[in-house]
């Protein structure tokens, strides 16, 4: 009985450390994705054909290639030509670049949903296009995209499990390490699923709440 | 930069592996479409236990990573006597994963048809089955098809995860060639190009369908106004 308890507490401890790293990687990648997504969406809606083309190529390429392939190019590929990243920065770069492409579409939709009259009014009172974007369009667009952002965060949380393939010590990686050490794959992988459930269910409750609230605002 | 003769030696192997990726994607997609339909029907049934079981299943699948689900099927099922080969395990994991998403797609497709349509059909004396067959389903298909194509694109990309249990597909071949030649950069970029060639036409098609669906939707609205 006590051996059983000792093993369970070992599993829980190692998985808990992994969960913290999963949360860090998720939060970090979320921030990188937001920055890249905003910049790329601003390019996509700009008047410069060059900026639009850059944003469009970025989005199309990163959305048509699996995130696992992107991670391997960044971690193993760049590593082999002298740009050696540690697993965690590589994961942040991979998920961030991939997420930025996905968020470009989300932000573009949000910006597109804001009536043109808002921008025109801002410009007519003497704001620059950048000011109009920053103070008029983005704050309103943000409200519209909030539910999609939460859903994106849930997807990101689950996707970070792939960072285990580039040896980032997050939840799935720690679970695999435990399996290698103890050969108790049923217990460990079931616990692993429970950890992910515990992390993503609160987020999806939040997403549902935001969706309800934003659809209410829409009707009003 | 690898020599052209090296790339020429890799290409045929990667083409074969891309065939494995397509096979994996098609098998899992078919499983997802069929199982998703069953789940959606069961969830909408009046049987409480059945519908709440489906609800729990959908929530579980959507709240955990596909990688975890793959591990549960490939590494955990053998402990209860169900040992599956890699490819089969991958088809089942991907298929059952996407079934949960597709069940939601079907449900929102049927819910997306305005109530008035159903009420009008019943008012002119159609039975429930007739209403579903002639009024609701034809309209929900228009709503369902674009997300179904998007699911196909995501599924195609997610098949790469199957390489982590050594199912025969593109990423596994790229990994094997990498350990043979130690040229990860060109090999993974080549793999990326293969995925792009397969996924990009699908995403162009998805966008076209979305545009068409939106146009159709606008037309319905202007008529009802």
Which DSSP category does B145 fall into?
Answer: H
Token pair belonging to A119? 């921008």
pLDDT at position B219: 45
Chain A residue numbers with beta carbons less than 8 Å from the beta carbon of B211 are: none
| Domains of chain A (ranges, CATH numbers) | 2-219 (1.10.3720.10)
| Candidates A77, A94, A183, partner chain B, best to mutate (most B CBs within 10 A) | A77
Question: In A, residues 56-75, which contact B (CB 8 Å cutoff)?
Answer: 60-61, 63-70, 72-73
Token pair listed for A100: 């930025």
Residue B114 contacts A where some CB pair is shorter than 8 Å: no
Q: Mind listing the pLDDT tens digit for each residue in B108-133? A: 998 889 989 989 999 999 998 899 88
Sequence spans of domains, chain B = 4-224
Tokens found for residue A98:
């991939």
Given a cut of 70, the residues of chain B with pLDDT beneath it are: 216-225
ipTM of the complex in this document: 0.89
Q: Are A71 and A163 within 8 A, CB to CB?
A: yes
pLDDT in tens, chain A (220 residues): 688 888 999 999 999 999 999 999 999 999 999 999 999 998 998 889 999 999 999 999 999 999 999 999 999 999 999 999 999 999 999 999 999 999 999 999 888 888 889 989 999 999 998 899 889 988 888 888 998 999 999 999 999 999 999 999 999 999 999 999 999 999 999 999 999 999 999 999 998 888 887 766 554 4
Q: Which residues are CB-neighbours of A61 under 8 A, at least 6 positions away?
A: A101, B196
Q: Is A82 on the interface with B (CB under 8 A)?
A: no
By three-state DSSP, how is residue B46 classified?
Answer: coil
Which of A61, A80, A185 faces B76 most closely, judged by CB atoms? A185
CA-closest candidate to residue B99, choices B151, B163, B159, B51: B151
Answer whether B182 touches A (CB < 8 Å). yes
Give residue-wise pLDDT tens across range A43-69. 998 889 999 999 999 999 999 999 999
Best of A58, A72, A185 to mutate (most B CBs within 10 Å, chain B) = A72
Q: Are B18 and B198 in contact (CB under 8 A)?
A: yes
Is there a contact between B189 and A63 if contact means CB atoms under 8 Å apart? Answer: no
**Are the C-beta atoms of B207 and B172 separated by less than 8 Å?**
no
CB contact under 8 A, A179 and B63: no
Which pTM does this prediction carry?
0.90
Nearest residue on chain A to B1, alpha-carbon basis: A81
pLDDT at B213: 76
CB contact (8 A) between residue A172 and residue B65: yes
Question: Is the separation of the CB atoms in A172 and B65 below 8 Å?
Answer: yes
CATH architecture of B4-224: Orthogonal Bundle (1.10)
């Amino acid at each position: 009985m006590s051996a059983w308890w000792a093993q369970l507490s070992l599993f829980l401890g190692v998985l808990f450390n992994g969960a913290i790293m999963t949360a860090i990687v998720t939060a970090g990648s979320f921030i990188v994705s937001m920055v890249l997504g905003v910049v790329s969406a601003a390019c996509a809606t700009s008047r410069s054909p060059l900026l639009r083309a850059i944003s469009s190529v970025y989005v199309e390429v990163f959305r048509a290639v699996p995130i696992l392939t992107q991670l391997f190019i960044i971690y193993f590929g760049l590593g082999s030509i002298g740009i050696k990243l540690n697993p965690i920065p590589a994961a942040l770069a991979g998920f961030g670049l991939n997420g930025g492409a996905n968020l470009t579409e989300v932000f573009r939709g949000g910006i597109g949903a804001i009536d043109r009259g808002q921008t025109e009014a801002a410009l007519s009172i003497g704001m620059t296009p950048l000011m109009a974007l920053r103070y008029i369009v983005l704050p309103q667009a943000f409200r519209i995209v909030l539910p999609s952002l939460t859903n994106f965060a849930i997807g990101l949380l689950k996707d970070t499990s792939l960072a285990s393939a580039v040896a980032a010590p997050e939840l799935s990686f720690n679970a695999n390490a435990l399996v290698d050490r103890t050969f108790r794959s049923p217990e460990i992988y079931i616990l692993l699923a429970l950890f992910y459930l515990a992390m993503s269910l609160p987020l999806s409750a939040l997403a549902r709440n935001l969706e309800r609230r934003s659809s209410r605002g829409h009707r009003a | 930069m690898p020599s052209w003769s090296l790339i020429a030696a890799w290409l045929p192997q990667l083409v074969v592996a891309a065939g494995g990726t397509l096979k994996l994607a098609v098998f899992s997609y078919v499983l997802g479409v069929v199982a998703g339909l069953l789940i959606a029907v069961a969830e909408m049934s009046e049987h409480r236990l059945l519908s709440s079981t489906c609800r729990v299943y959908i929530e579980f699948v959507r709240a955990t990573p596909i990688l975890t689900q793959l591990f549960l099927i490939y590494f955990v099922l053998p402990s209860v006597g169900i040992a599956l080969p890699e490819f089969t395990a991958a088809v089942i994991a991907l298929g059952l994963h996407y079934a949960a998403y597709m069940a939601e797609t079907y449900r929102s497709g049927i819910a997306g048809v305005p109530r008035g349509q159903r009420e009008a059909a019943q008012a002119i004396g159609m039975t429930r089955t007739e209403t579903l067959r002639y009024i609701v389903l034809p309209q929900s298909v228009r709503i369902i098809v674009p997300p179904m194509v998007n699911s196909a694109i995501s599924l195609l990309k997610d098949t790469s995860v199957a390489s982590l249990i050594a199912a025969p597909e593109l990423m596994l071949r790229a990994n094997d060639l990498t350990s043979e030649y130690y040229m990860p950069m060109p090999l993974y970029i080549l793999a990326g190009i293969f995925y792009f060639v397969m996924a990009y036409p699908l995403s162009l098609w998805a966008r076209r369908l979305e545009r068409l669906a939106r146009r159709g939707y606008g037309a319905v609205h202007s008529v009802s106004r």
